[in-house]
Amino acid sequence: MTLVDRPDVVIIGCGMQGATMALAAARSGLKPLVVERDRIASGATGSSYGFIHGGLRYLQTMDLRRWRRSRRAQAWFLKSYADLVRPLPCIMPLYRRRIRSPMAFRLAVATESLLSGAAGYVHQLSGAELLSSGDVPAGYPIPRHDLVGAALWHDLVVPDMKALLLAILSDAGVTGSALIEQAEARDVIVANNRVHGVRILRADRPPEEIATSQVIDCTGSWPSPWPRDQRPASTATLAFNLLLDAQFPPEAALAVSEVPGRGRSYFLRPCEGGTLAGTFYRAAPGARHPEVEPGDIAAFRSALERALPGSGVASAPVRRVMAGLLPDRDGTGRTLSAKDFVSTSGPAGFCRILGTKLTTAPLLSFETAAKLWPERANGIA
């Protein structure tokens, strides 16, 4: 059974990667159809912290490539969907004799200024600045011992991820029957080593077939039965955020760590009248679903209590747990992968994309489209 007029490409998965891949296909002159096993923004994209960052953090390790890509991607979101993202001030406390110090922050800001000037980038958000210890708002429940100031910069945040994805899909012409939700893509239909369609299954219906010559798997770290001769070592890191029933005074995000001034940062920001805290990671080799256990929440609470002792944030009731699976480097689930993955191995017409960052998903989609359809590449982005 053919569900709609034959699409040029079927995209499986409707997170940020799938939605922007549909947009890249449409800008290449193709007619995409998107299949989502649940609802839009129900996976890792909808459970993410919602940051669209400009890459300043990568200058701490002089990762210039990731900085450039983040800056380009952030500019794309601002240009394309300015009404669906908003600037968010971020504050990171800085401490005496620690890695995160005023000197390190000044160096990062100076480096960004030089690189931006050389690349011709225009700052579209308020610039970064260094706050004195006296300028750090008293409402922040942070440790004050050895506090010497704070780094202040602006990133973007997505207030409503579903609305953003729907806007991207609308621009791609993926509306009505071109978007199929709550449908599991069971297998790719292949003949003579070439894609001929996709078989899907919806509740209370017999299996249905969508005829197409191209399938792009954008399901991220979710397991699926697609043909894969090459794949990352694993997609086995559990990541989750907690929406806590606690007031968070300032209208800004706060970055804290268990040891003030060093180690992994956790962000807290106002959200839906409470506090969104994230992100906590746990190795989950072999995981097929992002299952957060009571022990995971307890571990995150303990980390927050060490970062903000006596604040009461860590003990606040949990309104919602937002979880997803992310790609790791070596199969252990202990170290997140920083490398995007695109594979066209398997039957002709099949492609798999695994992006590692929400921010740079559009760039990866446009780059993939240019490789898949080089004759249509002009003006894709």
pLDDT tens track for 97-124: 887 888 888 888 888 888 888 877 777 7
In sequence order, what are the residues at sequence separation of 6 or more whose Cβ sits closer than 8 angstroms to the Cβ of residue 168? Answer: 19, 20, 22, 23, 81
Digit-coded pLDDT (tens) for 308-361: 998 889 999 999 999 988 888 777 777 887 788 888 888 999 999 988 889 999
**Residue 138, exposed/middle/buried by CB under 10 A (0-12, 13-18, 19+)?**
exposed
Q: How confident is the model at residue 243 (pLDDT cuts 50, 70, 90)?
A: very high
Burial 180-206 (b: 16+ CB within 10 A, else e): beebbbeebbbeeeebbbbebeeeeee
Digit-coded pLDDT (tens) for 119-150: 777 777 888 899 998 888 887 888 888 899 99
Residue 222 has what pLDDT?
A: 61
Residue 7 has what pLDDT?
A: 94
Residue type, 185: A
Residue type, 254: L
Fold designation for 233-333: D-Amino Acid Oxidase; Chain A, domain 2 (3.30.9)
Percent of the chain at pLDDT above 90?
54
Q: How confident is the model at residue 237 (pLDDT cuts 50, 70, 90)?
A: confident
The sign one gets for the Cα dihedral 153, 361, 46, 321 is: negative
Digit-coded pLDDT (tens) for 151-210: 999 999 999 999 999 999 999 999 999 999 999 888 899 999 999 999 999 988 899 999
Alpha helices by DSSP H, 50-160: 64-80, 102-119
Q: Given the DSSP bridges, would you call strands 215-217 and 350-354 parallel, antiparallel or unpaired?
A: parallel
d(Cα 163, Cα 84) in Å, to the nearest integer?
Answer: 7
Fold designation for 9-45+162-231+337-376: FAD/NAD(P)-binding domain (3.50.50)
DSSP per residue over 267-307, as a string? EEEEETTEEEEEEEEEE-TT-SS----HHHHHHHHHHHHHH
Digit-coded pLDDT (tens) for 259-304: 988 888 999 998 888 999 989 999 988 777 889 999 999 999 999 9
Q: Read off the tokens for 293.
A: 């256990």
Report whether 189 contacts 200 (CB < 8 A): no
Would you give the DSSP letter of residue 62? T
Q: Do domains 9-45+162-231+337-376 and 233-333 have the same CATH topology?
A: no
Q: Read off the tokens for 331.
A: 């199969």
Residue 156 has what pLDDT?
A: 94
Q: How confident is the model at residue 234 (pLDDT cuts 50, 70, 90)?
A: low
- Spell out the domain ranges in the chain: 9-45+162-231+337-376, 77-157, 233-333
Report whether 6 contacts 354 (CB < 8 A): no
Residue 380 has what pLDDT?
A: 54
Global pTM reads 0.91
d(Cα 17, Cα 359) in Å, to the nearest integer?
Answer: 10
